[in-house]
Amino acid sequence: MRRFLFGLAVVLLTACSTPPAGVRTSPLPTASASATGSPNASRIRFAVLEARRAGAQESEYAGSHDTIAIAGIDGFALARATFTPRRIPVIPMAGPVLYPEAFAAAGGVYFIDGAGVVRRLDPSGATRKVTTFPLTSPQQGVSFAVSPDGKQLIAAVLTYPSVAPAPSTTAGQAPAARFITSGSWTLDLEVAADGGTAAVLHHWQSGANDDPGSSTGFRNLAIVGWDAMGPIGMIDGYNGAQQTLYEGQRWAGGHVIRLGLDGTLGATPLTADCTPVALGDGGRILCLLPGAGAHTGLLQVASPDGQVLWTAIQPTQTNQIGGFTLAPDGTRVAMDGVLVPQHGVDVQLPDSFMTRGWLNGDTVIGLIQGTEPMKIGILHLGAGNSIENWGFSGQFVGILRP
């Protein structure tokens, strides 16, 4: 299992756009670039987060990125912007569960910096400020999403209690006792229009030193998506963890719910009996039924309103479990080591490729093992399932759609 990584970012960068440049370390030959889809041959655009400042540690789970890039299916950047990285909240003996700093919507990518300023980067390289969800403390984390038309935004800002070293320690003392935690947890659900000021819809606060979910706390809430039906949230997820349950997992526990723009929470979770692991196109939900933590279990694909679309047995031949990602049409699930279709026979994938998303129905993007940090690349399904190493590290954000 992979541990959460966390640390305190100390280098601050100013948001700015730069001329288009290749995020890859070396260009493909002309023939290969044409075959895989250069910007002139394909309209596919996707966004990635990178940590490019000196000494930064790349981490998908609790990293502190400072660069957002838009690239074509050949892996070359069309636009890039740098921004002030977020600070990482401190939790004794654990890492915070943090959500990506970027969200793809309305043909561009929206990214939030360490002060809570949201900006939009277009494929042309143009960058503009959209709104601000203020972050005033290093003990804060934020999750956000943007409506498909780019006109509205919603965010959840979680404030962790302050943490300080205990004034004295003794031999044999429990590790958690070496820290002093003080103050309350707070959670603010906020909305904003493009170009407008954010408004707080709800403010929750726990009792002193009580975690969210305790009898005197509140239900933890994160924003994880937005489809044609509206914003999508994750309720009752863990705010910190020592280990991930599955390789590549960005969500820890919790259930998917619908959110209203007035701040109302859906009365019924969309995944009440299933552990959500990914969202697909059109608001489809991919989750694991009880028992799937072993090398066998049940994969379930649900509609945006929580109705089960299809279920499959998770294969046993994979060396590691994780990397769950749903195909654009919702009929296949790619994961580390295997492709599971709704109908038909499972397809074995290279063990060295760790799946993260789909660029189209024939191309999966992911991480390539064998280097540290691992490099981003693509897997061409069919034709021997060949891997193309793009030679740079980062976190896949998503496809840009009009």
pLDDT in tens, 226-257: 999 999 999 998 888 877 677 888 788 899 99
> Using CA atoms, how far apart are residues 30 and 331, in angstroms rounded to an integer?
33
Rounded distance between C-alpha atoms, residue 83 and residue 113, angstroms: 6
Residue 156 sits at φ, ψ, to 5 deg, of: -120, 120
Cβ neighbours of 173 (radius 10 Å): 11
pLDDT of residue 14: 35
CA-based nearest residue to 263, from 205, 188, 212, 194: 188
Q: What is the pLDDT of residue 61?
A: 65
Instruction: List, as one string, the DSSP characters of 20-36.
Output: ---SSSSPPPHHHHHHH
Q: Tell me if 261 sits within 8 A of 229, measured CB to CB.
A: no
pLDDT of amino acid 297: 64
CA 230 to chain centre: 19
Whole-angstrom distance, CA of residue 219 vs CA of residue 232: 15
- At 161, list the tokens: 């209690």
Per-residue model confidence (pLDDT) at position 217: 72
**pTM to 2 decimal places:** 0.86
Q: Distance between CA atoms of 11 and 118, rounded to whole angstroms? A: 19
Q: Mind giving me the DSSP string for 288-314? A: E-TTTTSSSEEEEEE-TTS-EEEEEEE
Residue 35: what pLDDT? 30
Beta bridge partners of 334: 325, 339
Q: Any idea what DSSP says for residue 91?
A: B
- Tally Cβ neighbours within 10 Å of residue 135: 20
**Single-letter amino acid code for the residue at 396:** F
- Residues (pLDDT < 50) of the chain are 1-22, 25-41, 293-295
The answer to whether 333 touches 364, Cβ cutoff 8 Å, is no
Which strand ranges, in their side-by-side order, compose the sheet holding 375-380? 353-360, 363-368, 375-380, 386-392
**Contact yes or no for 360/44 (Cβ under 8 A):** yes
Q: Distance between CA atoms of 64 and 244, rounded to whole angstroms?
A: 18
pLDDT for 112:
98
Nearest to 135, CA basis, from 153, 152, 118: 118
Query: Which pLDDT belongs to residue 105?
Result: 97
Q: Which single residue is written with the structure tokens 């820890």?
A: 252
Q: Can you give the pLDDT at residue 356?
A: 96
Query: How many other CB atoms sit within 10 Å of the CB of residue 39?
Result: 17
pLDDT at 211: 72
